[in-house]
Structure 1
Amino acid sequence: MSRNLLSRVVAQLERLPAPLARRALTLAFNSQVRFAGTGGARFEHLSATQAIVHMANRRKVRNHIGGIHAAAMALLAETTSGAVFGMNVPDDKLPLLKSMHVDYQRRAQGALKATATLDAGAAARIAAEPKGEMVVPVRVQDESGEAPIAVTMVWAWVEKRRG
């Protein structure tokens, strides 16, 4: 049984040919999380255990030295970790980013790829507890394969308010 609306949508899109499924997932996600769309987040993969999202080094997200802006890198990490986390939050709960810590380690080279993971134990906690929080691991790497930033994303879930 699907955990929530997001996971049901992803399951439906997986029936499409892979390139079309990725494009449809990107459009669907970015229509709901508009700032991710503004930043140009493109989904490669989304499941209950992993999200992989890309960001091209395009004019809209560039800084004054031609790389992807620091805020855009943070947006990519938040989008990726939030997507995999969101796949596991039941429909009667609300996912919320509680804290974001970003250490800028080096200048980014070219496009970025972020990978976030969530293990079965974390997913079980989200399903079982009425509210809570956890770190969702995410790694952002540039075209050189190095990580220009190190991030810690703490996500929380709470019961939705009625009415």
Structure 2
Amino acid sequence: MSAPLLTLYRRITAWPGGHWMFSRAVCLRAPYFSTITPRFVSLEPGRCEVHMRDRRRVHNHIGTVHAIALCNLAELSAGVMAEATLPASMRWIPKGMTVDYLNKAKGTMHAIATPEKPLIESTSGYEWPVLVNVKDAAGTEVFRARILLWLSPRKPQAT
């Protein structure tokens, strides 16, 4: 069975304007991410692609995309990928992130989040590393993040 977020993505994106609507829905659930105005391009178990358009609001003082905007893009794509991948019996939370700024980030950014290791359904918590590569419109990798997610079993709901 698909994760609820993945099911929503598949339903909404079947309609014209669906990618925009899905992106807005995610930002309503997690409002901070609306600061980068993301646009989800693709979502499937183990992979999430998100665009961030070039806008003045994400620039730094030298006119390139701000480092923290790139971090937001990475965290968003990794988190949504995890949400679409995990079985209902598991949950996640970010534990840490390391980043590499590889080139000047100018223009539209394209992030792809994929796990480094296969998902294991477990009765105890463990770290699950996710790699996020961010490229510019020319295909040059400008930023890379490795995000450690802590996966653990969901606690049963009290009745």
Q: Common fold, TM-score beyond 0.5?
A: yes
Structure 2 equivalent of residue 142 of structure 1 = 136
Is 1:57–1:110's contact at 8 Å kept on the other side of the alignment?
yes
| 1:83 counterpart (72, 80, 84) | 80
User: Does 1:132 pair with 2:126?
Assistant: yes
* Alpha-carbon offset, residue 140 of structure 1: 0.3
Structure 2 equivalent of residue 116 of structure 1 = 113
- Write the distance in 2 (CA, Å) between the matches of 1:38 and 1:91: 29
| 2:46 counterpart (27, 45, 49) | 49
- Write the distance in 2 (CA, Å) between the matches of 1:40 and 1:11: 20
Aligned residues: 156
- Write the distance in 2 (CA, Å) between the matches of 1:49 and 1:90: 12
Structure 2 equivalent of residue 13 of structure 1 = 12
- TM-score, normalised to structure 1, is 0.84
- Write the distance in 2 (CA, Å) between the matches of 1:144 and 1:38: 24
Question: What runs of 5+ residues in structure 1 fail to find an aligned partner?
Answer: none
Overall identity of the aligned pairs, in %? 28
- Write the distance in 1 (CA, Å) between the matches of 2:14 and 2:109: 27
Superposition pairs for residues 59-74 of structure 1, below 5 Å?
59-74=56-71
SS at match of 2:28: helix
- Write the distance in 1 (CA, Å) between the matches of 2:138 and 2:106: 7
| 2:149 counterpart (135, 146, 155) | 155
* Alpha-carbon offset, residue 92 of structure 1: 4.3
- TM-score, normalised to structure 2, is 0.86
- Write the distance in 1 (CA, Å) between the matches of 2:89 and 2:68: 31
Is 1:48–1:118's contact at 8 Å kept on the other side of the alignment?
no
- Write the distance in 2 (CA, Å) between the matches of 1:98 and 1:58: 29
Which has the larger strand fraction? Answer: 2
* Alpha-carbon offset, residue 160 of structure 1: 4.0
User: Does 1:104 pair with 2:101?
Assistant: yes
* Alpha-carbon offset, residue 58 of structure 1: 0.7
